[in-house]
Structure 1
Amino acid sequence: MSIGKYCNRDVVTAPPGISVHAAARMMSQYHVGDLVLAEHVDRERCRPVGLITDRDLALRIVARNPPDQDDLLAVDLVPRPLVIANQNDDVFDVILNMRRANIRRIPVVDDFGLLVGIATADDLVGFLADRLHELSLLIRQQSLREEDIRAEDV
């Protein structure tokens, strides 16, 4: 199961040079908890270079209230090199990589490194819950079938 099948393809992007205040306004406008900072390679496609979250804004700007916050760019809040997933990566490998990197969101790219979507911990929990539900239905179905077989034997 490749992550490309399950990632959210509706990604809000912003240029790396966007101010933190403009980034916060974009998150509010689009009702999202993150922005993928990306450099456009053409009109429709872009290459992710960073990711900023509402948590980054809350903990690094609001809570600390730095004196230079009006001059800060979103890219200044990117804490580490961007961890990405290829759209062909296995869902479970992506989950493991997210845990290892201690991240809840991961941009998904194609073989050329261009953005195709984003996978979030919340989305992946939903994916796993759906699979577990299907498995529980199988178990229930087999139990009912065994009861029918026992009833026929009587």
Structure 2
Amino acid sequence: MSVGQYCNREVIVASQDTSILEVAQLMRRHHVGDVLIVEQQREQNIPIGIVTDRDLVVEILAEEVSPDAVTVRDVMSPVITIPEKADLWDTLQQMRYQGIRRMPVVNEKGGLEGILTVDDVLALLAEGLTDLVKLIKHEIEQEARLRSKP
């Protein structure tokens, strides 16, 4: 199972010169908790940072910094990327080791292809567990039908 199979391909991006207000508005408009900061290189979006809703609260609001006084460049965190062909379970181990909840997924040239988040993985696991429960229920029902025949 590769990361590319399970990552979210709809990623909201901005440049490092984007205002904090614009980033917050992007998050609200698209109902997301992060915006990837990219740099255009060789006609590809190369991920260079990330701004999360938590960054806005902790770094701007809690510190009473005027959103007009800073840009994304001032608050973005660096990102660790993962190739889209990387193994999903190895990637989860790396995320746990690094203490990160979001990891941009890139192609062989470093261009942005998607993002893998803890939320995506939880949804995948929940779906898998639901399928297992359905399998067990079906098996029990099938066995009951077979045994109830005269």
Query: TM-score range with shorter-chain normalisation?
Result: 0.7 to 0.9
Spell out, residue by residue over 1:112-149, the C-alpha distance to the aligned partner (whole angstroms, 9 max, x if none). 11100011221211111111111112222222233334
Residue 37 of structure 1 and its aligned partner are, at CA, apart by 0.4
Mapping for residues 1-154 of structure 1, pairs under 5 Å? 1-43=1-43, 45-66=44-65, 69-79=67-77, 81-152=78-149
CA distance, structure 2, for counterparts of residue 77 and residue 105 of structure 1: 16
Q: Structure 1 length as normaliser, TM-score?
A: 0.85
CA distance, structure 1, for counterparts of residue 4 and residue 53 of structure 2: 24
Residue 92 of structure 1 and its aligned partner are, at CA, apart by 2.0
Residue 42 of structure 1 and its aligned partner are, at CA, apart by 4.4
Aligned residues: 150
- Structure 2 residue matching 1:18: 3-state secondary structure: coil
- Structure 1 residue matching 2:60: 3-state secondary structure: helix
Give the alignment's Cα RMSD to 1 decimal.
2.0
- Structure 2 residue matching 1:116: 3-state secondary structure: strand
- Match of 1:63, as an amino acid? A
CA distance, structure 1, for counterparts of residue 142 and residue 29 of structure 2: 52
Unpaired stretches in structure 1, ≥5 consecutive residues: none
- Structure 1 residue matching 2:32: 3-state secondary structure: coil
CA distance, structure 2, for counterparts of residue 144 and residue 30 of structure 1: 43
Q: Which runs of 4+ in 1 moved over 3 A?
A: 148-152
Q: Structure 2 length as normaliser, TM-score?
A: 0.87
- Structure 2 residue matching 1:40: 3-state secondary structure: strand
CA distance, structure 2, for counterparts of residue 57 and residue 103 of structure 1: 17
CA distance, structure 1, for counterparts of residue 18 and residue 106 of structure 2: 22
- Structure 2 residue matching 1:111: 3-state secondary structure: coil
Unpaired stretches in structure 2, ≥5 consecutive residues: none
CA distance, structure 2, for counterparts of residue 141 and residue 111 of structure 1: 43
CA distance, structure 1, for counterparts of residue 101 and residue 60 of structure 2: 20
CA distance, structure 1, for counterparts of residue 88 and residue 127 of structure 2: 14
